[in-house]
Amino acid sequence: MVHEVVDHFGQIDALINDAGIVPHFNWGIPRWPRVRLMSKDFWDSVIQTNLGGTFLCTKYVVPFMEERRSGNIVNLWGGGRAENHGAAAYVVSKDAIRTFTRFVAEEEREWNVCVVAFSPKQAIATEDAPEEARKRLPGPEILGNGFVLATQAGMELTGKTVEHRNGKLVVAD
């Protein structure tokens, strides 16, 4: 995939790691099983998709960014609370992405590759959400140009978790 992008466009300026398996509690979809009832295959699927996908895309994009001594990597972070029984695999994978972001940011600092975790701050109903959820929850438009701003973040934000507030990118609380 990465080689096809480079062959077609000549370079990679930004990577947004946004794919994931999500427990859509806010969508009214049945809860995932608690850890004691969860199969290892299910756990592995969530961890490998959310964290493993972020790792693999980052691993294969970084050499092209290092070669140019420039680039931005944005890792989607956030969601889920301990009281949401059944969210353990998701929350663990997302917290691991935040830690991954900090470590990769330090590894890539000398090559001028900025790596941030981006927080949407709330549940969002995408186009495949049930109608009821789309009526009750904000859609992706609530993020405004947050992803664009994150792909333009300066090195002073590398390793940080950021969010979009009032048209600006700010370090999350």
Question: Which residues are catalytic, by number?
Answer: 90
In eight-state DSSP terms, residue 74 is: E
SS3 89: helix
Give me the helices (H) in 29-130, please.
40-47, 53-68, 88-108
What is d(CA 49, CA 88) in angstroms, rounded to the nearest whole number?
Answer: 14
* Token pair belonging to 94: 């997302």
Per the CB < 8 A criterion, the answer to whether 22 and 79 are in contact is yes
**DSSP assignment of 102-140, as one string?**
HHHHHHHGGGTEEEEEE---S----TTS-HHHHHHS--G
Nearest in space to 63 (alpha carbons), one of 120, 117, 6: 6
- C-alpha dist (Å) from residue 77 to 56, 131, 157, 158: 16, 25, 15, 15
* Token pair belonging to 68: 């140019």
